[in-house]
A = this chain, B = another copy of it.
Amino acid sequence: MSSHSNMHTLDIHSATSEEILSLDNIRSVLIRLEETICFQLIERAQFARNARCYLPDGFPQLKEREGWNSSWLAWFLKETESTHAKVRRFEAPDEYPFTDPKLLPKPILEPVEYPELLWKHEVNVNDQILKFYVESIVPDITKTLGENADDGHYGSSAIRDIEVLSALSRRIHFGMFVSESKFRTEPAAFIPHILNPNREALAALITKPAVEAALLVRLAEKAKVYGQDMDRAGANAEEREKARKIEVDTVVSIYKTFVIPLTKEVEVDYLLTRLQGVEEEKVKEMVRSNKFVS
C-alpha cells in the first residue's frame, strides 16, 4: 500500500513534488472529488432551477446598489472569491477563480512556498464550466421540482452553485497534474508532439480507456448510493426510486459528456505550452534519456 493511501487532499504543504505527482496520489484526490461532486449536486438539487439567478439582469438591485453588471451567481462568486483571494486561495496550484482576477483583492497572508509542481501556464476553463453548469447541469438536476421552477431561495441555491462549481473546477484543472506526472515519467514520448503540436497524439498519451470505464462504473455506484431515498423504509421500490435525491444517469452523464472531455482538453492545453521557456539543452537531454530534467 502506498504511504499516501489515506491521503485524499493535495498535501502541498509537506510532501515532495514526486510524492504529490505520483499517479496513485493524483488518483486518490480525483476519486475523493467524486464524493464531493455527488454530495454538492445533491445539495443543489433540493432547490428549484431559479433561472433568474443566472441572467445578467436578473437582479437590478445589484446594479443599482453594488454597481454589478452581471448575474446574481456571478456576484456571489465575486464576493466569495474575494474573501478567498485575501487568504491566497488562488496561489495554490489546484485552485482557479471564476471571477476576473483583476476584480479580486491581493492576499493578506505572505505567499506559501509550494514545491515545483506545474509549469507556468495560462489554463483556466472556468468560463466553459460555468456555461455548461448553468445551461445543462442546473436544469437537469432540478427538473423534478418542475421545469424552470422558481422557489425564491436564491441565496441558498447560489451558495450550492458555488460549491458544485468549485468542485468541478478543481476536478477538471487537476488534469494538469496528470499531464505533468505523465510528462515527467516519459518526456521523450511527449516532446515531439509538443514541438510539432499534435493534440490527438498528446490526448492518446494521457488517455486510459480502462481507467475511464472504471470511473464511470464507480461514479454510478456512488450516485446510486448517495442519491437514494433513505426516509421511506416502508415504501416500495418504485416509490423510493421516485424520491431519489439525484438521478444516477444525470451524474454519470455530467462526467461522460462534460467532465472527462474537458479534463482532457485541459490536459492537452497544458502540455502544449509545457516546453515554453525550457532551455533547448534540457529538452534535447530529455528526448535522449527519456528522463525528466528539472
A residues near B (Cβ < 8 Å) are 6, 8-9, 11-14, 31-32, 35-36, 39-40, 42-43, 46-47, 59, 61-62, 65-66, 76, 79-80, 83-84, 86-89, 108-110, 112, 144-145, 151-156, 159, 163, 218, 221-222, 225-226, 228, 230-231, 243, 245
A11, A35, A110, A221, most chain B CB atoms within 10 A: A35
Residues of B within 8 A of A46 (CB): 8-9, 32
Main secondary structure of the interface of A (DSSP, over half): helix
Query: Is A156 touching B221 in the complex (CB atoms < 8 A)?
Result: no
Query: Is A231 touching B218 in the complex (CB atoms < 8 A)?
Result: yes
Copies of this chain held together in the complex: 2
* A11, B29: Cα distance in complex, Å: 37
Picked from B39, B83, B108, B153, the residue with its CB within 8 Å of the CB of A65 is B108
Query: Is A231 touching B31 in the complex (CB atoms < 8 A)?
Result: yes
A219 CB to closest chain B CB (Å) equals 10
Known A222-B230, A230-B222: A47·B152 in contact at CB below 8 Å = no
Other CB < 8 Å A-B pairs besides A9-B153, A83-B83, A222-B230, 14 of them?
Answer: A9-B151, A12-B152, A35-B42, A36-B43, A39-B39, A59-B109, A61-B108, A61-B110, A65-B108, A66-B86, A80-B80, A88-B155, A218-B230, A221-B230
